[in-house]
Amino acid sequence: MKNKKLITGFIVAVVLLLVVESYIYINNNRQQKNHTKITFVVTGDNFDNYENMIAGAETAAMDEDCFVDFINSPTEYGIEGEIELLERQLTDGADYIVTVSSDYEAMKEYVNKANVSGKVLFVENGIYGDLKNSIMVDDKELAGDFANYIIEKSKASKLLLVSTKEDINTKTLRTEIENALEGSDIILEYRLLSATTGTINQSMYNLGQSGFFDGFITLDYETLEAAAKAQSKLKKSVEVYSVDNSKEAVYYLDSNLINALAFKDDYSMGFLAVKDALAGNLRKQSESDEKLYYISDKETIHSDKLEKVLFPFVK
């Protein structure tokens, strides 16, 4: 009987000791956890457009054990909606904001006037090298490299450059592509198209069917999608070269509906945004060896390097 009491007492003591150790372990982990909150305020109506960026940010957040959130400002609310959302997130306790803004200049002006530049990172949309607290693709370099690729690979004598908007990034891409092709054997014409779905699809089909152009260079998702749809219906295929980051763009390339794709590395930008925010926004553009963009075609899309970028969820 006495032995049973001793054994029972020993078991109880061991259980209590384990409970105490578990409590200490959990409490220490809670104290060590990084409670920094980073909120991405992005423009647009569809989070699918930011799928790769979200994946990169969440990977970095797991590495750093911090909190990451994504909130979108609908397109119809414009820059005013983005600024209001940014202000609200800072008021609600976000330590840092990462913004993908529809109006880079207006957002930059607000951030400077509100004196919150130490809390805001600009990603993707904007001018490369303009701000220390930014992670941007060098659109001039991207456009130049893509134009050189087109000059080398294309068999076209006349291409149509198309977009549905003229924001700062699109203007840079257009200007650099026009400059690069100016001295080549390819004649280039530019047209700004309506983004209305039915209108743009019909326009691209008509342009492709007309025979006036041997192909398209598309500068945004709307023109890419319309060109790919037209390509699938045209009696005679045309060349299509696109600048876009969407998973649909990768699908069109993989399905041979477009010839080549200049693709910004959203995954790495999301990853670096979290790392840079936690580091105090101290990394300068010149310190990054990565270009954060790639040019892919049907021959390189499934290479080891590009599969990790173009198909980030494939293990």
Tell me the domain boundaries of the chain: 37-134+266-283, 139-264
User: For the domain with range 37-134+266-283, which CATH number is right: 3.40.50.450, 3.90.1010.10, 3.40.50.300, 3.40.50.2300?
Assistant: 3.40.50.2300
Mean pLDDT of 232-257: 93
Could you check whether 37-134+266-283 and 139-264 share the same CATH topology?
yes
> Do 259 and 240 meet the contact criterion of CB atoms below 8 Å apart?
yes
| pLDDT on residue 122 | 93
Burial class for 38, CB neighbours closer than 10 Å (0-12, 13-18, 19+): buried
Is residue 3 very low, low, confident or very high in pLDDT (cuts 50, 70, 90)? low
Q: What is the side-by-side order of every strand in the sheet holding 120-123?
A: 67-73, 37-43, 96-100, 120-123, 134-135
| pLDDT on residue 80 | 95
Is residue 7 very low, low, confident or very high in pLDDT (cuts 50, 70, 90)? low
43 - beta bridge partners? 73
Mean pLDDT of 273-281: 84
pLDDT of residue 10 exceeding 80: no
| pLDDT on residue 133 | 81
- CATH annotation of 139-264: 3.40.50.2300
| pLDDT on residue 47 | 80
* Span 125-135, pLDDT tens digits: 888 877 778 89
Residue 222 vs residues 2, 120, 167, 185, 192: alpha-carbon distances, Å: 83, 29, 14, 28, 11
Which 3 state secondary structure label does DSSP give 122?
Answer: strand
* Span 151-200, pLDDT tens digits: 999 999 999 999 998 888 899 999 999 999 998 999 999 999 998 888 99
User: Would the pTM of this model clear 0.85, i.e. be above it?
Assistant: no
Q: Which two tokens stand for residue 89?
A: 């997130």
Alpha-carbon gap, residue 227 to 233, rounded angstroms: 10
* Span 206-229, pLDDT tens digits: 999 999 999 999 999 999 999 999
